[in-house]
Amino acid sequence: MNTADQNFAALGLSLPPAPKPLGVYKPCLIDGKYLYVSGHGPVKDDGTLIIGRIGDSLTAEEGKLAAQQVGLTILATLKANLGSFDKVKRVMKTLGMVNCTPDFEKHPFIINGCSELFAKVWGTDNGVGVRSAVGMGSLPDNIPVEVEVLFELF
């Protein structure tokens, strides 16, 4: 059975730079065996953000890819702060926020981009936790997706 680090390496994906806080908060916080990750946006490899509103300037498929990029951004924060994905036991809770038009109804489809990535890294038992996927009237800097996660550590 592969480790989470091996699973990620096998995906052939790259991590963007771990984002620095743009306000008064910490990107992540460890409390005992839990790691709380602040809301992250879709940071690209060059450090810029994916921007746009789903149902307007972005399609649902583009939104799902943006959510995967948010997952990669969260993984970059984990790597920067833990050194290894193997220190994560499981995903506990994911909150996905979708910047979309009022008539858009496929919020879970969008957030699957992030959740499917985590399932590939930690497996379906440990990489899938409870989740909420909700629509928002706007998100900071007009990003299409923001995700926060609670992880359990070993």
Condensed to tens digits (0 to 9), the pLDDT of residues 128-137 reads: 999 999 999 9
Q: What is the tally of structural domains in the chain?
A: 1
What stretches of the chain adopt beta strand conformation (E)? 28-31, 34-40, 88-99, 130-136, 145-153
Average the pLDDT over 50-76 and give the result: 98
Domain of residue 133, residue span: 28-153
pLDDT of 107 over the 90 cut = yes
115 CB neighbour count, 10 Å cutoff: 23
pLDDT of residue 108: 98
pLDDT of residue 19: 96
User: Does residue 5 lie within any of the structural domains?
Assistant: no
CATH number of the domain encompassing residue 135 = 3.30.1330.40
pLDDT digits over 60-70, tens only? Answer: 999 999 999 99
Predicted model pTM: 0.98
User: Does residue 147 lie within any of the structural domains?
Assistant: yes
